[in-house]
């Protein structure tokens, strides 16, 4: 068996928060619709940093940095990823629709499409909405979005944890956009 040495953090050549803010971003926006867990909010920030997400909108009851519980899971990503609080999620969706984003509710719904089948074209900009841990994305927000995307699940539970779901969606969309560049 070959031995593979694990890299040290200073060998990873990561961007500083300042260089991150100046870097080219993935044309992807995350909208958190009434997410109640501060740990989930922090985890979404951390994944958004990993995939150079353009911005996060925090809406409704979603907590905002600075907060100890968010900071604990974000590990500094609240300092690198752009974010804004907007009380009404519908206002954000209307603004993003008008700005040419494909707005996508991540939800189990009639006529939803599987994330695997969600396709993009060169130059597309995407905004995904993730909802409350119990109630999901509000129905009026689902109605305002251009698309509804669902992730396959094969077990007994009805949903994935929002931070896990967000990470999967960001990874998938980042890769689809990267292939188009």
Q: What is the CATH number of the domain that holds 174?
A: 3.40.1280.10
User: Is the residue at 148 inside a domain?
Assistant: yes
Phi, psi of 75 (to 5 degrees): 50, 45
- Give the count of domains, the chain: 1
**Confidence tier at 1 by pLDDT (50, 70, 90):** confident
Span 152-177, average pLDDT: 96
**Confidence tier at 103 by pLDDT (50, 70, 90):** very high
Mean pLDDT score across all residues of the chain? 96
Q: Give the other-Cβ count within 10 Å of 181's Cβ.
A: 8
pTM beyond cutoff 0.85: yes
User: Is the residue at 10 inside a domain?
Assistant: no
Residue 105 has pLDDT above 90, yes or no: yes
Give the ranges where 14-66 is alpha helix by DSSP (H).
Answer: 17-22, 38-50
User: Is the residue at 150 inside a domain?
Assistant: yes
User: Is the residue at 11 inside a domain?
Assistant: no
pLDDT of residue 2: 79
User: Is the residue at 112 inside a domain?
Assistant: yes
What is the domain extent for residue 82?
Answer: 18-180
Measure Cα distances from 155 to 59, 99, 152, 158, 159 in Å: 30, 38, 10, 8, 9
- Per-residue pLDDT of 68-98, as tens digits, reads 999 999 999 999 999 999 999 999 999 999 9
pLDDT of residue 107: 97
- Per-residue pLDDT of 11-57, as tens digits, reads 998 999 889 989 999 999 999 999 999 999 999 999 999 999 999 99
H or E element at residue 177 = helix 162-180
Contact 105, 9 (CB under 8 A): no
């Amino acid at each position: 068996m070959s031995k593979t040495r694990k890299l040290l953090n200073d060998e990873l050549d990561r961007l500083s928060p300042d260089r991150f803010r100046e870097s080219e971003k993935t044309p992807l926006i995350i909208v958190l619709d009434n997410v109640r867990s501060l740990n989930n909010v922090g985890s979404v920030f951390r994944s958004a940093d990993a995939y150079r997400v353009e911005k996060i909108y925090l809406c409704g009851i979603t907590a905002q940095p600075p907060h100890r519980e968010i900071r604990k899971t974000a590990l500094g990503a609240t300092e690198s990823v752009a974010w804004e609080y907007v009380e009404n999620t519908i206002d954000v969706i209307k603004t993003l629709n008008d700005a040419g984003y494909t707005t996508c509710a991540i939800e189990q719904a009639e006529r939803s499409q599987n994330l695997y089948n969600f396709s993009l074209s060169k130059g597309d900009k995407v905004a995904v909405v993730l909802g409350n841990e119990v109630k999901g994305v509000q129905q009026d927000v689902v109605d305002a979005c251009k698309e509804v995307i669902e992730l396959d699940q094969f077990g007994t539970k009805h949903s994935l944890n929002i931070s896990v779901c967000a990470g999967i969606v960001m990874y998938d969309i980042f890769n689809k956009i990267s292939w188009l560049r």
